[in-house]
Amino acid sequence: MDQVELRRVFQMFDRNKDGMITKEGLNDSLENLGLFISDKEVSQIIESIDVNGDGFVDIDEFSILYQMITNEHNEEEDMMEAFNVFDQNRDGFITFEELASVLSSLGLKQGKAIAGCKQMITKVDADGDGRVNFMEFKQMMKGDEFAALRSSY
């Protein structure tokens, strides 16, 4: 991680420039970024990264939080790339035909059984439209049927 970038981001959170981020400062900064989390969750975040136990987040501790945030972002990007592989016609949805096609091309036995693909989609199709959107896809990728695929993304 680039130290200059880390310092720049830290300074955005460190409103009074004292080298420490308070619970309130962290909460305000996250809200300014459009991330609304409860006070309890903010406290839990601080507790989990507050290595020296002073109740504040210094730059070294902040690097832990920054790493957690960037890892989640990278995971989301990876998931979107995987979704795009399945969404062959780029309409924002995966049909059972698209699922079967990709699974077959990857040599996975699940791709040969259309009924199995329909069942996989039905299992995660929260809105019941017979297709999988990105949110449903993320849920599907967490399931046991896709353990082999998760390791490749």
- What is d(CA 105, CA 67) in angstroms, rounded to the nearest whole number? 35
Q: Which residues contact 117 (CB under 8 A, 6 or more apart)?
A: 96, 97, 99, 100, 103, 110, 111
Q: Is the pTM of this model over 0.85?
A: no
Domains of the chain: 3-78 (1.10.238.10), 89-151 (1.10.238.10)
Res 153 pLDDT > 50: no
DSSP conformation class of 52 = T
Model confidence pLDDT, tens digit, residues 72-125: 666 777 788 888 888 999 999 999 889 888 877 776 665 567 777 888 888 888
Model confidence pLDDT, tens digit, residues 29-51: 888 877 788 889 888 888 888 98
Q: Do the Cβ atoms of 110 and 96 come closer than 8 Å? A: no
